[in-house]
Chains A and B, each alone.
Chain A
């Protein structure tokens, strides 16, 4: 088995395995760049938040506390779990956004009024695509979330491998070298021109 053979097979099988992520990033980039294609520039009932509950809630939140611990506690007390982001919304409130790929729940805890409000949103197809595109990072507690983030790293690594293995395969076809070199140089020059003018 030659290096050339290993290179080709790695290029191929990695691409076949990661095809769903490849398609997802392509389609979601289209959704970000051309919202109108997905009807996202029109008012959409699916984007509205529906109140799930509004109840008294009492939790002391010190200024220097780790907000993720607070978020986990609020979610747990509300009977919820899963990935979330948390932030302070002004001086009086804390907002926890729990989400998956299909829907999201927004919990707003008003520390002055001692009230916890939960609102739910069902994501449209456009929103689901964007959620997939932007989801990543290793800060969630769930192992599966870390696993998803690891697959994103794998996609990044795969991109670099495809570039390197693709360059190697191109160089192994002597008759394409001149046109290939011109194309490569034109691409790099265009990219540099963008860096200089944007």
Chain B
């Protein structure tokens, strides 16, 4: 019970986000037109990098200097004159476009979109970045997975302890597994 109470927000998140994704609400509501990036500001950035610095190192340095550390992906390179960093926050995404020749960074923020936030949180996997918050999130997802196994086992044990529910409960289990196997075999 206490495990379930602690993990209530995660259970609610996965229920609602799965529903929106099942109905493709995220695709419909989060087309570029539905959740566009809007220019927030343009800032001077006098970072100094060697010409052959890898883009990952440049991106990490820029995020560090702007105090925006966290999960991101990066494209472009110094030679091409443009590096684009997509900082994937949980509530919003921020796009930073660094132009080393002009020593400027364009900051654009994606418009808030509830389905997009749900999808980002739902699909956020762990242990892939160097950021502690990301690893802690992954631990919380592992806790949800562990809890699901625990709830199945403890639920079966509690059901078996209530003798009056054994027959109807067994019918539910058999019909549930029967339907699941039917799906596996037919679609």
Which residue on A lies nearest to B165, using beta carbons?
A12
Asked whether, in the complex, the Cβ of B175 is within 8 Å of the Cβ of A17, the reply is yes
A142 interface hit (Cβ, 8 Å): yes
B153-187 contact mask (Cβ, 8 Å, vs A): 1 or 0: 00100110010010011001101110110011011
Q: Which of A63-71, A72-80, A188-196 contacts B (4 or more CB under 8 A)?
A: A188-196
Given contacts A16-B172, A144-B187, contact A33 B148 (CB under 8 A): no
**What is the minimal beta-carbon distance from B183 to any residue of chain A, in angstroms?**
5
Given contacts A33-B138, A188-B9, contact A20 B177 (CB under 8 A): yes
**What is the minimal beta-carbon distance from B45 to any residue of chain A, in angstroms?**
24
Which of these, B127, B172, B177, contacts A33 with CB under 8 Å?
A: B127
Which of these, B136, B144, B158, contacts A29 with CB under 8 Å?
A: B144
In the complex, what residues of B have CB within 8 A of residue A104's CB?
none
In the complex, what residues of A have CB within 8 A of residue B8's CB?
163, 167, 184, 187-188
B89 interface hit (Cβ, 8 Å): yes
Asked whether, in the complex, the Cβ of B172 is within 8 Å of the Cβ of A17, the reply is yes
Asked whether, in the complex, the Cβ of B133 is within 8 Å of the Cβ of A163, the reply is no
Which of these, A101, A142, A145, A157, contacts B184 with CB under 8 Å?
A: A101
Which of these, A136, A167, A186, A190, contacts B21 with CB under 8 Å?
A: A136
Q: Which of A88-96, A112-120, A147-155 contacts B (4 or more CB under 8 A)?
A: A147-155
B34 interface hit (Cβ, 8 Å): no
In the complex, what residues of B have CB within 8 A of residue A137's CB?
22-24
Which of these, B6, B133, B184, contacts A183 with CB under 8 Å?
A: B6
Asked whether, in the complex, the Cβ of A13 is within 8 Å of the Cβ of B172, the reply is yes
Q: How many residues of A contact B (CB 8 A)?
A: 61
**What is the minimal beta-carbon distance from B174 to any residue of chain A, in angstroms?**
9
Q: Which of B5-38 contact A (CB under 8 A)?
A: 5-16, 18-19, 21-24
Asked whether, in the complex, the Cβ of B187 is within 8 Å of the Cβ of A142, the reply is yes
Asked whether, in the complex, the Cβ of B141 is within 8 Å of the Cβ of A33, the reply is yes
Q: Number of residue pairs across A and B with beta carbons under 8 Å?
A: 162
Asked whether, in the complex, the Cβ of B172 is within 8 Å of the Cβ of A22, the reply is no
Given contacts A29-B144, A160-B12, A198-B124, contact A19 B165 (CB under 8 A): no
**What is the minimal beta-carbon distance from B18 to any residue of chain A, in angstroms?**
5
Q: State in angstroms the CA–CA spacing of A141 and B71 once bound together.
A: 38
Which of these, B90, B148, B187, contacts A83 with CB under 8 Å?
A: B187
In the complex, what residues of B have CB within 8 A of residue A166's CB?
1, 4-5
Q: State in angstroms the CA–CA spacing of A175 and B1 once bound together.
A: 13
In the complex, what residues of B have CB within 8 A of residue A53's CB?
none
Given contacts A12-B159, A16-B173, A26-B148, contact A156 B5 (CB under 8 A): no
In the complex, what residues of A have CB within 8 A of residue B183's CB?
144, 147-148, 151
18 chain-A/chain-B pairs, Cβ below 8 angstroms: A12-B169, A15-B151, A17-B176, A18-B176, A19-B152, A29-B148, A33-B126, A101-B187, A136-B22, A142-B187, A148-B187, A149-B22, A152-B22, A156-B16, A184-B6, A186-B6, A188-B8, A194-B137
| Chain A to chain B: the 5 pairs with minimum beta-carbon distance, closest first | A159-B15, A26-B148, A20-B180, A191-B9, A187-B6
Interface residues of A (CB under 8 A from B): 9, 12-13, 15-26, 29-30, 32-33, 82-83, 100-101, 136-139, 142, 144-145, 147-149, 151-153, 155-157, 159-160, 162-163, 166-167, 169-170, 176, 179-180, 183-184, 186-188, 190-191, 194-195, 197-198
Interface residues of B (CB under 8 A from A): 1-2, 4-16, 18-19, 21-24, 70-71, 89-91, 124-127, 133-134, 136-138, 140-142, 144-145, 148-149, 151-152, 155, 158-159, 162, 165, 168-169, 172-173, 175-177, 179-180, 183-184, 186-187
